[in-house]
Amino acid sequence: MEENIVISLATTEDAPTIAKLNLLFNEVDASPEVIAARMSDPNCVETVILAKAADNAVGFALVRVVPSVLYPTSHAELTELYVLEKFRQHGIASGLIAFAEQIAVQKGARSILVQTGDDNIPALSLYKKLGYEEYDLTLKKKLF
């Protein structure tokens, strides 16, 4: 793949593109207006990152960084990572992760967490290749 990939922060103008990628990845059909409103919310703690090839979005990542009351550094988590299938295996996911890590460091985090399915072998391989280690156990409870 010879295309030049540009990775940058997303803006609310990218909301239609983010909505399309989110539908493909998470099967969540949120409108561009809803996504733009969430991105504009001053209480939002996630940063959206886009990967583009020839001005077309080919992937995205979200990083959440929040300060801690009990610890001196912020908590960071890579909350989403998706690359269109035909653009995989070209370093785009690694670039998105590196960009997310830079944001986390700039916002005061000293480490970053990521969750993925224990059966998602490609993702696990990528994260381990990039220095991520198994750390803890995550539990989930539905509230309604």
Q: Is 42 exposed, middle or buried (0-12, 13-18, 19+ CB in 10 A)?
A: exposed
Q: Which CATH class is domain 5-129?
A: alpha beta
Place of tokens 């922060």: 9
Domain ranges of the chain: 5-129
Per-residue pLDDT at 2 exceeds 80: no
pLDDT the model gives residue 101: 97
Supply the pTM of this predicted model. Answer: 0.92
C-alpha closest to that of 21 among 125, 96, 117, 126: 96
- Residues 25-58: tens digit of each pLDDT: 999 999 999 999 999 999 999 999 999 998 899 9
